Structure 1
Amino acid sequence: MSESAAFLAPIPATPAVPPLVSRLVEQFGAAWVGHDNLDTWLAQSGESLLLLCGDPQRYPECLDVAVVLPELCKTLGAHHDRVLRLGVARREDEQALAERFALRRWPSIIWLRDGGYVTQIDGMRDWDEYLRLAENALQMSNALIPLRSEAPSPANGGCH
């Protein structure tokens, strides 16, 4: 299976993966992103949006964000002649990804450019606010956010 096929491998719609979230992959070309393929997904160039939904029972607005996200990409793409790549965090890897990207609130869209962190848009917003925040993100430089590495370092006891 090719790397791109691995991203698009269907994950069945179960109670843990609501149909509105699965729809992002099935109808809008989003990639399932998890611990095993994050670095490969990040290595692709351009603007990327990674959705971390959280538990839809606890955070039902994640379903609203899943509906708005393709429209946001379509609108920004039309106005800026850019393709925004979508990723959806796999439920079983969401907590680790939330820690890696210093998630502030569930659900969140993590905005990345050329694999580097730009910003995050958390929670459900009014359409005009989404557009404003997205326009700001397009103008931002990549930010320096301490992304948690899986490799041990001397500071966290990696060397003995």
Structure 2
Amino acid sequence: MTHPLIDRLTTEFGWPRLTDSEALQAFVSAPGEHVLFVPGDPARNLETADVAVIAPELRMAFQNRFDCAVVDDDIETEARELGKTYKTPSLLFFREGQPIGAIAKVRDWSDYMDRITRILAAPAAPAVAE
């Protein structure tokens, strides 16, 4: 999963890179709202780099209401199953261990803003990529 824009999320923004099941569960189960960035293969999916650039901007737009982590290749399948979303790249939203929504692929900014506002307002429920 090495790509400079994905690496930037962990080096410049300090997002954790989740590499095993225990770290994944601990991250999504902590109090508050959380987003998992599931990049997929950046060599095969050109949208991955775009979402890697957009995700920190979304976090800032929502005034750091949620924290974010990058899902490592080794647990990508597990994360997608946990969020009930199978497309990549994906942003998977959780509240205290429960999926509350997901956004797959690149979207228009206004679409992100609308969808994230609705996701954060929703009660915990199974995630469905929009």
Task: State TM-score, norm by structure 2.
Answer: 0.89
Question: How many pairs were matched up?
Answer: 126
Supply the RMSD in Å over aligned alpha carbons. Answer: 1.5
- Give structure 1 regions of 4+ aligned residues with deviation exceeding 6 angstroms: none
Identity %: 29
Q: CA separation in 1, counterparts of 2:95 and 2:26? A: 14
Q: CA separation in 2, counterparts of 1:97 and 1:114? A: 15
Q: What's the CA shift for 1:96?
A: 2.5
Q: CA separation in 2, counterparts of 1:100 and 1:114? A: 13
In structure 2, give the amino acid aligned to 1:33: L
User: Higher relative contact order at CA 8 Å, sep ≥6: structure 1 or structure 2?
Assistant: 2
Aligned partners of 1:17 and 1:91 also within 8 Å = no
Which of 45, 48, 52 is residue 38 of structure 2 equivalent to?
Answer: 52
Structure 2, gaps ≥5 residues long: none
Please name the residue that 1:6 is paired with: none
What SS does structure 2 have at the residue aligned with 1:37? helix
Structure 1, gaps ≥5 residues long: 1-15, 146-160
Distance 1:70 1:46, change over 3 A: same
The Cα offsets for residues 27-69 of structure 1, whole Å up to 9 and x where unpaired, read as 1121111324112112211111101010112211011001000
In structure 1, give the amino acid aligned to 2:68: L
Please name the residue that 1:118 is paired with: 100
Q: CA separation in 2, counterparts of 1:106 and 1:134? A: 17
Q: CA separation in 2, counterparts of 1:100 and 1:52? A: 12
Which stretch shows the higher mean deviation, 59-68 or 82-91?
A: 82-91
Q: Which has the larger radius of gyration?
A: 1
Please name the residue that 2:6 is paired with: 21
Task: State TM-score, norm by structure 1.
Answer: 0.73
Please name the residue that 1:69 is paired with: 55
